[in-house]
Amino acid sequence: MTKRRWGLFALGITLLGWVIGGEWVSIHALVPENHFIDALPGLSFLVAGIVALDRRPGNCIGWLMIAYVVVSYLGNWGNLQVPVVPAIGGSIGQQLGGAILAHMGLSYPTGRLRTRFERAVIGIIYGVSSVASLVILLAFDPRADGCARCAWELAPFPSRTAVLTANLVAQRLGFILVLLFLAAVWLRWRRATPAERRELAPLWVAVCVVCVVDLMGAFASPFPVVQPFAYLVWELQSLLYVSLPIIFLWGLLSARLARSAVGDLVIQLDRPLPPGELRACLARALVDPPLEVLYARDGLDGWVDAGGQPRSLPEPASGPRTKTVTVVERGGQALAALIHDPALDQGLVQAAAAAAGMAIANERLQAEVRAQLEEVRASRQRIVEAGDAERRRVERNIHDGAQQRMATLALSLAMLRDRAASDPAMAASLDQAAAELRQAIAELRELARGIHPAILTEEGLPAAVEALADRSALPVRVLADFDERLPWPIEATAYFVVAESLANVTKYARASGARVELSRCNGTLRVAVTDNGVGGADATRGSGLRGLEDRVCAVRGSFRVDNPPDGGTRVLAEIPCDA
């Protein structure tokens, strides 16, 4: 046994003496009550207090239990016919017990009062109890009431009015104090996280017990003290008080009970888990629904979630809502981080993490694969976007450069031609040059349009697709249910899907018409190009359709080519566009 345990043992024996001694004094003073039942709550608080001090050192609830034992048995010692003791026992024992119980309740389970309001409530309760004790100590003189045994009461300023007033005020204030106490408990409940609420449950049980006891007291008080019924009530009260320290102790030690949930966790994890299910299992086992699991990257700094998305750990900053991070390691290497409620027992979190070790390592590998996949996808998207940006730049250069110069040149030629009207040979040459130039301008226009259509930049997707339809060799119907602009990588992707698909329809499908549908629904752009031709298109063959599929995938979209049984081909692309 350690020195501390010896000390606790000695304290326990001393207090046992205090309780039993008190009863012994009462027996000898012929106090009419069941001394065994009277001693039970004291013994219960005593044992619970010592166990709490042993198992939760540093938590003051154990000390409060001890203090409650000392204070509540002062009254019994008050029957000792020794100077001063009866007065102190009677007044202090009567008033302070309730205050200590309230303190215990509000500081449960950590032993600390958290908010200013809680400290104020407890301070006021102690203050009122102390003042009432002092007044009674100074003014109560039972000899004035003809108490024969009360020769040793100390009453330097005997005053019946003062005592009655103090009692009345303490009673009335007591009612308000109980309400304040309940308000503080309710506030704590409201601000508590789910994990904290689980811990607060015993407190509610205790509050209910005290309420029942007090109601019984209120019910019993009209009866004269001597009535057997009142005794019965008192004894029932005593028995209920026996349960209080047990409830508190159970709550204090319940983190150990929660470990059985870790056992359930081991059983749950003994099967393949879908992504994210591990988090749910851990959250259930630890009763912390918002619990998060992040995974360490392999050979890289940073963290990802189960889906492979980069995430960062919460700052270890202050604040009541700050999360606690528990890093799970294997072989000195960080594997995962549990981001959980700070109220959770650290040992319990460690136990759960250890139980889930295999599953965590497994899900981390999956997260790593997803993260790498996401990086590849992002780099593909960047490559496609860079290509699109380059095409736009080239188109713009052609527009501002060659096209503009050629238009100016055509104008100059026309002016020359006007002046050369008198020279038919010159006029014929100039006409020929002008015709050549017109042809060149037309070809350059088609080239630039193929590189990147200006209408797409200027007016958006539906207008650009209508322009495509205008130039298609086949009759093409365009149905668009929106006219807004979309992010340009999405517009460009959708445009090239339509352009390439219509080109395919013209070249291979032997169709007499085609239909282009553009629709937006639930943040998804849907592009469908349907023809009535011979069908037989296959996305897996031919670089055109394959290239489209790659482009669409690069912007997180899906791409499909259907050949409906009733003929024709349908190219369908769905692209997410959260705009």
Partner 1 sequence: MPEPPPPGRQDVKETASPELGGMAARADPTAAAGIRVVLADDSVLFREGLARVLADHGFVVAGQAGDADGLHAAVQRETPDVVVTDIRMPPTNTNEGLLAAQRIRAEHPGVGVLVLSHYVETRQAIKLLQNTPQRVGYLLKDRVSDITEFTDTVRRIARGGSVIDPEVVAHLLRRRADGPLAGLTSREQDILALMAQGRSNRAIGERLFLSPKTVETHVGAIFTKLGLLPAADDHRRVLAVITYLKNA
Q: Report the distance separating Cα 239 and Cα 40, nearest Å.
A: 7
Q: Report the distance separating Cα 278 and Cα 526, nearest Å.
A: 35
Q: Which amino acid is at 401?
A: G
Q: Is 270 in the site for partner 1 (CB under 8 A)?
A: no
Candidates 215, 414, 428, 579; binder of partner 1 (CB under 8 A) is 414
Q: Is 420 in the site for partner 1 (CB under 8 A)?
A: no
Give min distance, CB of 386 to partner 1, in A: 17
Q: Is 400 in the site for partner 1 (CB under 8 A)?
A: yes
Candidates 348, 467, 516, 577; binder of partner 1 (CB under 8 A) is 467
Q: Which amino acid is at 564?
A: P
Considering the complex, state which of residue 112 and residue 507 has its C-beta at the smaller distance from partner 1: 507
> Whats the size of the chain, residue-wise?
579
Give min distance, CB of 521 to partner 1, in A: 23
Considering the complex, state which of residue 283 and residue 499 has its C-beta at the smaller distance from partner 1: 499
Segment lying near partner 1 (by CB under 8 A), choices 141-149, 163-171, 351-359, 406-414: 406-414
Q: What is the DSSP letter of 508?
A: I
- How far CA 327 is from CA of 263, 281, 335, in Å, comes to 21, 18, 7
Q: Is 469 in the site for partner 1 (CB under 8 A)?
A: yes
Of 467, 19, 528, 502, residue with least CA distance to 238: 19
Candidates 412, 429, 432, 558; binder of partner 1 (CB under 8 A) is 412
- How far CA 63 is from CA of 201, 227, 519, in Å, comes to 22, 36, 71
Considering the complex, state which of residue 257 and residue 447 has its C-beta at the smaller distance from partner 1: 447
Give min distance, CB of 434 to partner 1, in A: 6
Give min distance, CB of 504 to partner 1, in A: 11
Subset of 431-460 contacting partner 1 (CB under 8 A)? 434, 437-438, 441, 445-451, 453-455, 457-459
Q: Is 485 in the site for partner 1 (CB under 8 A)?
A: no
Segment lying near partner 1 (by CB under 8 A), choices 54-62, 156-164, 224-232, 492-500: 492-500
H helices of 356-460, where?
Answer: 357-398, 404-419, 424-451, 454-459
Neighbours of 265 (CB within 10 A): 23
CB burial of 463-479 (b: ≥16 within 10 Å; e: otherwise) equals bbbbbbbeebebebebe
Give min distance, CB of 382 to partner 1, in A: 21
Neighbours of 499 (CB within 10 A): 21
Per-residue contact string for residues 533-562; x = within reach of partner 1 by CB under 8 A: ------------------------------
Segment lying near partner 1 (by CB under 8 A), choices 78-86, 149-157, 353-361, 414-422: 414-422
| 3-class SS of residue 529 | strand
Subset of 46-75 contacting partner 1 (CB under 8 A)? none
Q: Report the distance separating Cα 556 and Cα 116, nearest Å.
A: 52
Considering the complex, state which of residue 288 and residue 388 has its C-beta at the smaller distance from partner 1: 388
Neighbours of 85 (CB within 10 A): 17
Radius of gyration of the chain (CA): 43
Q: Is the dihedral of CA 254, 260, 266, 268 positive or negative?
A: negative
Q: Is 168 in the site for partner 1 (CB under 8 A)?
A: no
Q: Which residues would be at the binding site for partner 1 (CB under 8 A)?
A: 396, 399-400, 403-404, 406-408, 410-415, 418, 434, 437-438, 441, 445-451, 453-455, 457-459, 462-463, 466-467, 469-475, 496, 499-500, 503, 506, 513
